[in-house]
Copies of this chain bind each other. A is one copy, B any other.
């Protein structure tokens, strides 16, 4: 996809944040390092910095989401921006307005940034290719394509526990085929130099071309989890359980759910990750979710820090404007 470069300006700096593809290692590390400074903000008594004061950030959610929308909203507020929550499903598009007219209207209202969540793959790219030069676009998840801030927060979390990516074995478990999270994770792990990326799931849920992305497929947890440093569970879309692609919930948990017995195959200090919300007893046993090896809640906290970083970086790279 050649269009990925639209997320960089002519000096190679971050302009939009649409996908991990096209972000090189040094820029990726720069974002992670910048996010460190915001992780500290969440711990302070006054969790606010004035970086984006007087900016207007529009949350454009074409798909329902509480968690992602909330973390973007909190990230924006902690940067002192004004936030506009637009549930597009129930707004002007119903009145027959086209998407581009809606976007141009928001630009005319002097919005500075759009956070996009959309069921169609490529939606955030399309929007970024159409907006006025001063507008920044951040992809909050588009179809099966990408969820780049999720990959960012997960790499941030891994780095806290395993600082050297170049020695890691990482397994991603679940419905890889339908997961924008999995795609973005694989790209991110590759960029950061992880030598062994595994995906584990039923054959029906692992894409045929997965090796072209640099990941190795496993269809059995006992093989795939062996000696890994990081276990990344995917969320199971329970809606899909009813389709023919998946066995029953019970059967799924037995084969691909994470329990103590299976986790024992990983390295003794392996960490367990999940993008949330978790389905206890389906993807993951409660004992593990609540154990010290689980870093699931750290992921949530880091989600706000990395989103603050991406918002502040893209906005800071607007030519000719002083903050």
Which A residues contact B (CB, under 8 angstroms)? 42-48, 53-56, 64, 66-67, 70-71, 73-74, 77-78, 82, 84, 86, 90-92, 95-98, 101-102, 104-105, 107-110, 238, 276-280, 282, 297-298, 300-301, 303-304, 321-323
Q: What separation, in Å, do the CA atoms of A53 and B77 have in the docked complex?
A: 12
Instruction: Write out the residue numbers on chain B whose beta carbons fall within 8 Å of the beta carbon of A66.
Output: 86, 91-92
B277 touches A109 (CB 8 A): no
B54 touches A45 (CB 8 A): yes
Instruction: Write out the residue numbers on chain B whose beta carbons fall within 8 Å of the beta carbon of A42.
Output: 110
B297 touches A105 (CB 8 A): yes
B67 touches A74 (CB 8 A): no
Given A66-B92, A70-B84, A92-B277; A54-B48 close (CB under 8 Å): yes
**Closest CB in chain B relative to A59 CB, distance in Å:** 12
B67 touches A297 (CB 8 A): no
**Closest CB in chain B relative to A317 CB, distance in Å:** 13
Q: What separation, in Å, do the CA atoms of A54 and B42 have in the docked complex?
A: 10
Partner of A110, one of B43, B92, B101: B43
Instruction: Write out the residue numbers on chain B whose beta carbons fall within 8 Å of the beta carbon of A104.
Output: 297
Known: A74-B110, A107-B297, A109-B300. 15 other contacts (CB 8 A): A44-B54, A45-B54, A45-B321, A46-B54, A47-B54, A47-B110, A64-B90, A74-B84, A74-B109, A97-B277, A97-B279, A101-B278, A101-B280, A105-B277, A110-B301
**Closest CB in chain B relative to A147 CB, distance in Å:** 16
Question: Can you list 17 A-B contacts with CB-CB less than 8 angstroms, sorted by A residue number?
Answer: A42-B110, A44-B54, A46-B55, A48-B53, A48-B82, A64-B90, A70-B109, A77-B82, A92-B277, A98-B280, A101-B280, A105-B276, A108-B300, A109-B301, A109-B303, A109-B304, A110-B304
A105 touches B44 (CB 8 A): no
Instruction: Write out the residue numbers on chain B whose beta carbons fall within 8 Å of the beta carbon of A277.
Output: 92, 95-97, 101-102, 105
Q: What separation, in Å, do the CA atoms of A213 and B78 have in the docked complex?
A: 46
Instruction: Write out the residue numbers on chain B whose beta carbons fall within 8 Å of the beta carbon of A297.
Output: 104-105, 107-108
A96 touches B56 (CB 8 A): no
Partner of A238, one of B48, B74, B91, B96: B96
Q: What separation, in Å, do the CA atoms of A300 and B104 have in the docked complex?
A: 10
B53 touches A105 (CB 8 A): no
Closest to A42 in B: B110
Q: Which of A56, A70, A321 has the most CB of B within 10 A?
A: A70
Q: What separation, in Å, do the CA atoms of A297 and B67 have in the docked complex?
A: 33
Partner of A96, one of B64, B107, B279: B279
